[in-house]
Structures are given as C-alpha cells and as structure tokens.
Structure 1
Amino acid sequence: MHLPPRTEIDPEYRFDLTAIFDAPADWSAARDDLRERLERLESLAADTPETAAELEELLAETEACYERRQRLELYAQLSKNVNTDSESAADRERALREATAAFEPVAAAVRRALGDLSEGTFDDLVEPLEEYRYYAANLRRQASHVRSPAVEDVIADHEEARSGSDRILREITTADFDPPTLERPDGETVQVRPGNYRTELSNPDRDYRRRVYEAYHAERNRFAATIVRASAEKLAAAATEADVRGYDSIRDRDLRGTYPESGLEPALPEPVHDTILEAVRANLEPYHRAQRVRREKLGLERLRPWDRRVSLADPPEPDLDYEESRELILESLAPLGEEYVARARAFLDDRRIDVYPTQDKRTDIPAYCPSSAADGAFVLANFRGDVRTTFYVAHELGHALAVAYNREGPTRYATCPTAVCEIPSILHELLLAEHCLERGGALAAHARNRLVECIAGNLYRNARTAAYNHALATTVESGEDLTVERARNAYADLLEEFDPVYDRDGVADRIEGIGLRIPYSSYQYVLGATGALAVRDRLRDGTLAADEYRGFLGRTGRRPPLESFAALDLDVRSHDPFERAAATFDGYLDGL
C-alpha cells in the first residue's frame, strides 16, 4: 500500500505545530530560556524557604519550568513523529534529552529543599498558600527518593544510556523491521508493518490472515534475542534506579505517573496492582466465553491465533470518510452535555488532528494524544476510513477533552494520573458504540464487534500484558537472567491461562518484550475500562450528571488516584468494580 507524502494532504487534516512554536528556531530559543529559568530555580532551591513568600516563589518557578519543558517535549515529539526521517527532528530530540538531563537534578533540589523543612515549619509556611498546598505536599513527600546532588548528577548524566534500550526496541519496529510483502485476496500487494498488522488480520479471507500472521511473526522473531536482551537491560536499569532512590520495587516507582509531567507523583498503592490481576484472573470466564462465541460465529472447529481480529459482523463493513466519522463521534457525545460537545467540535475544527497515514509518519501505533498545559492536546491519528480507526479517533478525542478540562486550572494541576487517564478515552468508545447501535444496519453490527473488542482488549488482554511485564520485572529484580526461553515460557503460560480456546498447535511461540513505555503501564487500561463502564452505567441511571463528570475531569490533577475513583463511587482496592466490569462484558456478548 503506497502512502502519500504529507504535503499532498489538505492542511485542514494536518495538525498545525505553529500553534506551539512558529518555527524550529523558536523551539531552540525556548530551550535556551528554560536553561536560564533552571539556573534561577537552582538558586532558589539552594536555600530552604523561610517565609510563605519564599515558598510560593520556589513553587511558582518550579511550575514555570515544568510548563516550558512540556512545550519543548510536545513540539519535539510531534515534529519527529510526522517526519521520522528528519535529521533536524532527530537532532531536536537529542537536544531535548540533554535539556531533560539538566532539568532533573534541579527538580530534585527543589524536592530536597522542601524535605529539609520540618513538618511543623512546612505546615506553617504552606497554610496561607491554599492553591499550592497539594502540590507542595506532594513534592515534599518525594524528597525521600531524592539523593545527594552528586548522585543526582550521575543519574542525570546516564539518562542517555538508560534510555538506549527504548531506542533499540523502537528501531526493531521501524527502521530494522523488514516488512513482509503479501498479496491480498483482491490482488493488491501490501507490506505488513506494525502499523497495519491488525488491519490485515481483520481480512475475511482466513488463508490470507494465516499468511499475514506467520510472515509478520517470522520477521519479528528474527529479533527475539535482541528484544529480550533490550527488555532485560531496560528492566535492570529500572531496578537499579528504584534501588538507588529507595523505592520498594520497579512497580513502586512506576505507579506514580502523571501526564503531562508537572512535578506531581500521585502514588497508586502497589496492592491495587495485585488486586487488578487477581480480580481479572478470577473473572476470566466471560473472556473465555467470548473466544467460544468467536469460534462458533466463524463456524470453525479450531480457533487459531490469526482468527482473533476478524470481525464477527455479517454485513460488509461500511466505508467511512473522515467527515462522516467526525460527525458520528460528535453525535455520540451528547450524553456528556452540550458544552462538552461544543468543546469537542472546537478541538476538531482547530487543526489539532493529523488525520491520515503518510510517508515518513509514525504508523507503528494507531493513534496517540500528547499535550502540554500551555498548548493543550494534539492527536496523531492514522485514519483509514473504517470502523476501527474511527473508534481510535474517538478514543484519543477523549484524552484531548480531558486535557481541555484539567488545563482550566494552573499548570501544576493541568495533568492526570496514569491510573485514571484512560477512563475518558474508553468512555468515548462506549458512547460511540451505543450511538452506532442506534443507527442500525452494517454500522451497528461492526460497532458491536468493536465494542466487544474494546473491552476484551482493555480489560482482559491488558491484564494479561500487565501480568507478563510483572513476571519479567520480578525475574530481573530477583537476580535471575532474563533469557529468550524464560520470556517465551512466561508468555506461553499466560496465553494458556487467558486464551485457552485458541489452538496453537504448530504455531511458533511468540516473543514479546517489555515495550517502549515504563514496565508498569498496562494496568491503566484495565482501570480505564472498569472506570468507563461504571461512568456509563451511572450516566444512564442518573446517579452521575454530565456536569459532575465534567467536574471530575477538571479535578484529576488535584487529588490522588484513589480519591478520583472514589468520586466515581469505585473502590479499586476491592474485587467488586472488576467483577461488575466482567459481568457487563458478558452481557455485551449476548448481542453478538
């Protein structure tokens, strides 16, 4: 499949990065400005604040530096991902890594200065600073994981080396990956890449799906040893950092994320991660039933791995142009209120989505939504005129709207804990599915299929990935060597537990790595699906009003994740929310 150059796409369907910086030179000037601000912040952090005014100045300058860093990251990331072969974009990314390395020791100095305050003195100083109280207290708690200036400098200096495994893993899926070329049943020739692999596996022709699966994984397994070694080195670096900083484990380090980073680290207790895996594993029957339903609907005696992605809908899938998909999405958001829909429409009108796959654009992911507090969100999409990628756009628009609400406040709170961040995006998919079901016809049939896939993927398959990554991480933390055989066996055991209906006889074992994200990230999708299903139920029965949900979005950066879940009447420390999510998924299967 030939992709057009980006210049051939109407500007209306390409995001406009001049909304961030007018030109690359302005990015460089902003980087230099950040360096100067960091020098000022370092000077402020050199002395423990003695008055409320000094504390406020320290916190305000910290916030300002994070705001500038976010903007630099956003522009560098987006400009690189629409032109992956650009040398200037690659140089900008390297310059960003250098700026980040300089940033971290200064941020550590701020936390150290706050940690040096006695509890009584801190309480007295922060008492008149109501709007800074949560921010200041969270930064101060992080002081226990800050080390001496000399150690912090060493950690920062080795950031480039510690991130090397991610660059290796990315190259495997991009430059080094030699995409197999196959002929489709319609005679068209296609190169199977990470970005279109799932699409090709949805082809109705079973023999073609088998050839796609086998050819793709044969090429990927060519890098098996490299994938596992890079994953092992990434985990070893994470374990070393966790140990140096005094975290209990890699998991303890990772369950504190927010996006975009504003300095906050709202911790999700480690036992919640255990509860997620235990609860999902105790409720696998609906997922197993989904596999049996798939086998029956496809009329197969043996369900094979290449049968996972093909639609169960009988009618041919409708073709959707982008404008039609856009209106479907906007119509589906009506339950969230007119004000919400107006914001969504304004975002779509503002050239903030890069819609189509193009040459040199990153296509190894379906879509994503980066943001900064100052600039808001942008969406890099790879819309292909089908139901699946329509849902991907809806998903990312959920992230974009969450950003729109949480950035109404100051930069320090214009963020969202990763434990909570997938609720608005998956809620969008649920609402879109329901709207398409009301439309009826072929669109409804394929939307129902997508609805089941959405929950199966987020609730169950991401729980499986979370369990796999946890197994790899604990292997490395225990001092054992992470070999190809160990990784392959761990993945095979989880496939047997989660996907027992699939017949893998004669199928080469797959190799999976730790991925490009931090090791513990898949859990957020399980929580997102669980939370989104609960929100949809409460919107429907009237126990949660649309304006209350919008208020929830605006407060995610102002409180710990457990409090955000509690605001939705969810206690994710118990099995109950996950049991209800599994029961809802089971009900969806009745409609297939």
Structure 2
Amino acid sequence: MSSVPERSDIETEYKWDLESIYATDDEWEEAYEEVEDRLDELEAYEGRVTEDGETLLEVLELREEVMRQVEMVIGYARMRKDENTADQHYQALSSRGSALASQAGSASSFVGPEIQDLSEDELDQMIAETDGLEQYDHYLHDVLRLSEHTRSAEVENVLAELSEVTGASGDLYSMLMNSDMEFPTVEKPDGEAVEITQSNLTNLLKNQDREFRQTVHEEFYDELGEFHNTIGTALKSKVKGDVRLSQIHDYETAREAAMDGPNIPVEVYDNLVGTVRDNLDKLHRHAELKRDALGVDDLQMWDLYMPMTETETPDVEYEQAREYVVEAVGALGDDYQRRVQEGLDSRWVDVYETENKRSGAYSGGTYDTQPFILMNYQDDISSMFTLAHELGHSLHSQLTSENQPYVYGDYEIFVAEVASTVNESLLTRHLLDTVEDPTFRRHVLNEYLERFRATLYRQTMFADFEHQIHELVEDGEALTPGKADEIYGDLKSEFYEPAVVDDRIAREWARIPHFFNYTYYVYQYSTGISAAVALADEILETGEPAAERYLDFLKSGSTEYPLELLQTAGVDMSSPEPIQRALDVYDDHLDQMESLI
C-alpha cells in the first residue's frame, strides 16, 4: 500500500529553509514580543499624523518597521503550520500571528483616515517641504483616492480588530479539507492501494484505466458531499462578509470594493468574461478532440484531465525539472537565470507531499526574507510547470524587494500572475524546441493546452461563479449549498457542452480554496495568462530589448497601478485584445495537437 510519507522521511535539501527566518521557535517568540511592545509606540501618534511633514514621515517609517516584523512573524508561523496542518503547536503559533497582525492593523488604522483629512494641495505642499517624504508620493495620493470609501478612524479600528474573525471561513475550510477530512483509499489497476488527497486527485484522474478514474471521481466527490452543508456554510459566511464589508465602505458591490484597491476598472472583469464566453467554441473543440483521442463515445467528467496522448505522462523527476526550468528562463538573461539556479540551490522549495501538508502550491516569503515555495511535487510534467510558475512569483518578489523601498516592495495579484505564466510559456517553447522524443513533445503540448484551459477558461468560469454568488447575496437571496451547486452546474454545462456533466461535479466549487480565502481573486489568473502570452512571444521574437522591458516591469513593484505597469511592459489590459490574442494562440496550439494525434 502506498502512503504519503512523514516529513521526517524527506531529506533536508528538499525542504524549505525556514530557519533562515528564525533559527528556533524561541527566536520567533522574542520577535513576537518585540512587535507587541512596539504597538504602543505606534498608537502614540494617533491624532498627530499630519501635524507636519516630519511627523507624517516618522509615523510612516515606524509603521513600516512594525509591519515588516509582523510579516516575518506571521509568515514563519503560517509556513510551519502548512508543513503539517495537524500540528497543534504551529496551529497555535499561526493563530497568534494572525491575532498579532490584527492588533498591528488596529494600532495603525488611524493613519489612513488622518491622511485623508488633508486636501491634495496640503499634501503636495507637505511632500515638497519634507525631505524623504517624496518617496511616499504615489502611496499618499493613493490613500487620498480611496478617501470616500474610508470610514472614521474609530470604525476602521474596529474593522481591523475584527479581521481575524472575518477571515475565519478560510481557516475553517483549510482545517476541514487538509486535516479533518479523510478521503478514501482506492485500489489502482495494478493492485496498489492509494489514498486520494487534494494534492494527488488530478494526477489520479490522469490514469489510463477509465474505470479507475470513475471510481476516484465518485469516491472523492461523495466524500465532499458528506460535508456539503458545512462547506456551504463556510462559503455563505465568506460571501456575506464580503458584501457587508463593501457596504460598510460605501461600495455598491463587493466586486467594486475588491477591484478598487488595485484601481482596476470593473470593465476589465466584464471584458474577460464576455470575451471568453464569445470563444467557448474553442474550448468545445478541445473537449471534442479529447473525446476522439480517448476513443470514447461520451466525454465524462472523469475524463477531463486525461492527456490527448497514447501513454501516461512521462516521469519527470524533480532534479530533471529543475534543469529544464533553469535552461528555459535563459531567454530572460544571465542574471535572471543565475537567480533561479541559486534559489533552487538555497532551499527555497519545500518539494514533496507529506502527511497533513497543505495541498497545492504557492510562493511565499516577505520583503526581508528569501522567497519560499510550497509544492507537492508528483514527478510529472504538470509538477514541472508548477515549479516554473511558482519560481516566476518568487523572482518577481526578489527583484521587487531589491529594487523598491518597502512601501512599494509588493505587487498586486493582477500583475503577479503575469510573471508566473511568462515562465510557463518560456518553458513550453524551450521544451518543444529542444526535446526530440515525440511522446514527450506531445505531452508538453498537451500540458500547455491543459494549463491554458485550466487558467483562462476554468478560472474565468470560477470568476463567473464567484460573481453570480455575490450578486445573489447582494440581491437579498439565500446562498445555500444547493443553490451553489445549481449555479456551478449550469456553468460547467455551458463551458463543457460536449461533455457529460454529472451531478457530482456540481459540487466542484467546494474543493476550490480561493472561494473561501480571497475575494474576486481568480479572474486575475485569466488576465495574467493573456498578458503573459503577449509578453513571452515578444521576448522570444525580439530578444534582449523586450526582456529588459519585462525585467524593468518585475522590478517596479507597486510604484504605479497595475494597468499602467503592464502598459509600460507593452500590454493594454483595459482592452479585450490581449484576451482574444491569447485565445487565438490556444486555437493555434489545438491545430498543432490535432495534426499530431
């Protein structure tokens, strides 16, 4: 019987180096206490923030010092918890870290409202007369931009204190899915028993044995069904919280509130959904090609992840994946390539799935730490692409933190997915250009098409679902688990029209963590791949000049709004044009796959 290994069974070189943040938990405790002690110092500025330019500069610098410490405290605790979500010690540390972040937010919640008491002329004069304050020009004017949606300091303080409570739905969902739920063990065609997990589900659904795939599909979603009401309640609480907070801040909708922070017009969202819906014929074509390639009369939901190739996905061990990725990013120059290699050699990556480890993958870290990447590597082509994806995020973070002050040392999610998907595009082109094995090449092309489908079409479908459930609550209707199933099932039927949509797949929303942890987030995967396709093509076609513009974009952090940053890099996401261009590339790759199979 196969089993997920214990963390102690994994060699150190395949675990991320969290000791580089705090060597011991005792050091974490000391840092925690130090932050707690500084909160009073920060609160002492309440009512004085804008009395003169020097005071404003002092409070901004102090808040930065505190928040940088908070980020390290909470980052370490959360990543330790993600190593083993059942470890109660790190559950407690993570909870304390979240509480500390909430306290810090509360302690500094007066800063924004007091800045917003200034007129634009008063602010400009203060910046002009105070050395050092000019660094905060973009940030300060952005605070003024949001003034009509900011409540009094007292109200914002209360909301900051409640942030830990308002985020409870995500914590509940994570604990349920990663620790408490026990998915079934199934017998593979070769007789080996394997436990279904969130991390290996997709891989199991790529097994050549169709009856086995059906069993995995049914067993997994039946188990989800056992917790249908609990997960549905978590979703309802999350959406109702989003709606209520948007109303408190005087927005008409939760979508408007979520998109106003990064200053993204809601038309960008509508352009995405509308353009993708206008091109569903391409997705339907993909489904029909897959049905024909598999030689089945009806494409079932347990067939969707199957590659359009005659063999199971080739094994790609982690060391080989590293080599391919490093070679692929050479298109971005020697410095970028060197950084990727050094990161892989410096234990950025927590590589393998272990018992109770958080599922999925992400890039983490803080302004003052090295990047960290959580993975659940499965020795396949998909995992190799995920490695390239997360390294895109990590290099973006590293280049930003090295080139920008803390105030601009992060970046909006809207641009983050560009960096990750450019790496995927470069990896695809590199593999198709250099690997001669025809079976491997077909799997690479299939992987590109599948990731395209999953990123542009599937995430847009998620975005449509997310918008519909928020509109439902905003209209005063009840969001029940059954209603969520109905909405999701209708979307699945529309997007995957040539396939048979069964009742179980209507519960798929319940396995998507983004719906429980973020608000109007997933659409940015789709806009990101659209921008990335254009940028990657330009880099490969024109070489160094395009690569330099792209690297300048990665170094810019949040010095400008996302749409402006992308326009500088050469992509206009206020237009449907990049989305349509990406969909046309998808269609071209479908042509290539059709000719191969």
Provide TM-score, normalisation by structure 2.
0.94
> Residue in 2 aligned with 1:404?
398
> Residue in 2 aligned with 1:433?
428
Asked whether the equivalents of residues 206 and 312 of structure 2 are also in contact (C-alpha less than 8 Å), the reply is: no
> Residue in 1 aligned with 2:104?
103
CA shift, 1:493, in A, is 1.5
Picking from 161, 170, 177, the partner of 1:173 is: 177
Output the aligned Cα RMSD.
1.8
> Residue in 1 aligned with 2:40?
39
In 2: Cα distance, 1:354 partner to 1:314 partner: 32
Picking from 324, 331, 334, the partner of 2:327 is: 331
> Residue in 1 aligned with 2:460?
463
Shifted more, 348-357 versus 312-321: the winner is 312-321
Taking a change above 3 Å as real, the CA distance of residues 466 and 304 of structure 1, as seen in their structure-2 partners, is same
In 1: Cα distance, 2:62 partner to 2:3 partner: 49
Residue 407 of structure 1 aligns to a residue in which SS? helix
Which amino acid in the other structure matches residue 154 of structure 2? Answer: A
Residue 556 of structure 1 aligns to a residue in which SS? coil
> Residue in 1 aligned with 2:448?
451
Taking a change above 3 Å as real, the CA distance of residues 508 and 333 of structure 1, as seen in their structure-2 partners, is closer
> Residue in 1 aligned with 2:489?
492
Residue 309 of structure 2 aligns to a residue in which SS? coil
CA shift, 1:479, in A, is 1.0
Taking a change above 3 Å as real, the CA distance of residues 485 and 5 of structure 1, as seen in their structure-2 partners, is closer
Q: Deviations over 1:446-480 (max 9, x none)?
A: 11111001111111100000000110011111111
Q: Deviations over 1:296-347 (max 9, x none)?
A: 1111221111111111123443222221111111011111111110011111
In 2: Cα distance, 1:131 partner to 1:150 partner: 28
CA shift, 1:507, in A, is 5.8
In 2: Cα distance, 1:424 partner to 1:104 partner: 29
> Residue in 2 aligned with 1:307?
303
Residue 174 of structure 1 aligns to a residue in which SS? helix
In 2: Cα distance, 1:448 partner to 1:243 partner: 46
In 1: Cα distance, 2:495 partner to 2:9 partner: 44
CA shift, 1:504, in A, is 2.6
After superposition, residues 148-547 of structure 1 pair within 5 angstroms as 148-255=152-259, 265-362=261-358, 364-365=359-360, 367-408=361-402, 409-438=404-433, 439-441=435-437, 442-504=439-501, 509-510=506-507, 512-513=509-510, 515-542=515-542, 545-547=546-548
Taking a change above 3 Å as real, the CA distance of residues 505 and 83 of structure 1, as seen in their structure-2 partners, is closer
Shifted more, 279-288 versus 522-531: the winner is 279-288
CA shift, 1:508, in A, is 6.5
CA shift, 1:352, in A, is 1.2
CA shift, 1:122, in A, is 0.5
Shifted more, 47-56 versus 397-406: the winner is 47-56
Taking a change above 3 Å as real, the CA distance of residues 269 and 106 of structure 1, as seen in their structure-2 partners, is farther
Which amino acid in the other structure matches residue 399 of structure 1? Answer: H
Q: Give 4+ residue runs of structure 1 displaced > 6 Å after superposition.
A: none
Q: Deviations over 1:507-566 (max 9, x none)?
A: 674352473321311111001110110111211231852122111101132110110221
Residue 199 of structure 2 aligns to a residue in which SS? coil
Asked whether the equivalents of residues 437 and 447 of structure 1 are also in contact (C-alpha less than 8 Å), the reply is: yes
Asked whether the equivalents of residues 349 and 373 of structure 2 are also in contact (C-alpha less than 8 Å), the reply is: yes
Taking a change above 3 Å as real, the CA distance of residues 266 and 62 of structure 1, as seen in their structure-2 partners, is farther
Shifted more, 99-108 versus 417-426: the winner is 99-108
Which amino acid in the other structure matches residue 427 of structure 1? Answer: V
CA shift, 1:175, in A, is 2.8
CA shift, 1:88, in A, is 1.6
Which amino acid in the other structure matches residue 133 of structure 1? Answer: D
Residue 391 of structure 1 aligns to a residue in which SS? helix
In 2: Cα distance, 1:94 partner to 1:315 partner: 46
Shifted more, 538-547 versus 181-190: the winner is 538-547
Asked whether the equivalents of residues 224 and 511 of structure 1 are also in contact (C-alpha less than 8 Å), the reply is: no
CA shift, 1:107, in A, is 3.0
Residue 136 of structure 1 aligns to a residue in which SS? helix
Residue 414 of structure 2 aligns to a residue in which SS? coil
CA shift, 1:482, in A, is 0.8
Residue 516 of structure 2 aligns to a residue in which SS? coil
Residue 374 of structure 2 aligns to a residue in which SS? strand
Shifted more, 563-572 versus 518-527: the winner is 563-572
In 1: Cα distance, 2:9 partner to 2:60 partner: 46
Point out where structure 2 has 5 or more consecutive residues left out of the alignment.
none
Asked whether the equivalents of residues 349 and 374 of structure 2 are also in contact (C-alpha less than 8 Å), the reply is: yes
Residue 516 of structure 1 aligns to a residue in which SS? helix
CA shift, 1:273, in A, is 1.2
Question: Which protein has the bigger helix share?
Answer: 2
In 2: Cα distance, 1:465 partner to 1:150 partner: 36
CA shift, 1:202, in A, is 0.6
CA shift, 1:65, in A, is 2.3
Residue 416 of structure 2 aligns to a residue in which SS? coil
Which amino acid in the other structure matches residue 191 of structure 1? Answer: E
Asked whether the equivalents of residues 55 and 125 of structure 1 are also in contact (C-alpha less than 8 Å), the reply is: no
Shifted more, 1-10 versus 198-207: the winner is 1-10
Q: Deviations over 1:130-168 (max 9, x none)?
A: 322112222333443333343234323433332222223
Which amino acid in the other structure matches residue 351 of structure 2? Answer: V
CA shift, 1:571, in A, is 2.2
Which amino acid in the other structure matches residue 241 of structure 2? Answer: A
Taking a change above 3 Å as real, the CA distance of residues 62 and 23 of structure 1, as seen in their structure-2 partners, is same
Q: Deviations over 1:10-32 (max 9, x none)?
A: 21111111111121122222222
Asked whether the equivalents of residues 105 and 161 of structure 2 are also in contact (C-alpha less than 8 Å), the reply is: no
Residue 416 of structure 1 aligns to a residue in which SS? coil
Taking a change above 3 Å as real, the CA distance of residues 322 and 109 of structure 1, as seen in their structure-2 partners, is same
In 2: Cα distance, 1:500 partner to 1:11 partner: 47
> Residue in 2 aligned with 1:262?
none
Which amino acid in the other structure matches residue 220 of structure 2? Answer: Y
Shifted more, 469-478 versus 58-67: the winner is 58-67
% same residue: 30
CA shift, 1:581, in A, is 0.8
Point out where structure 1 has 5 or more consecutive residues left out of the alignment.
257-264
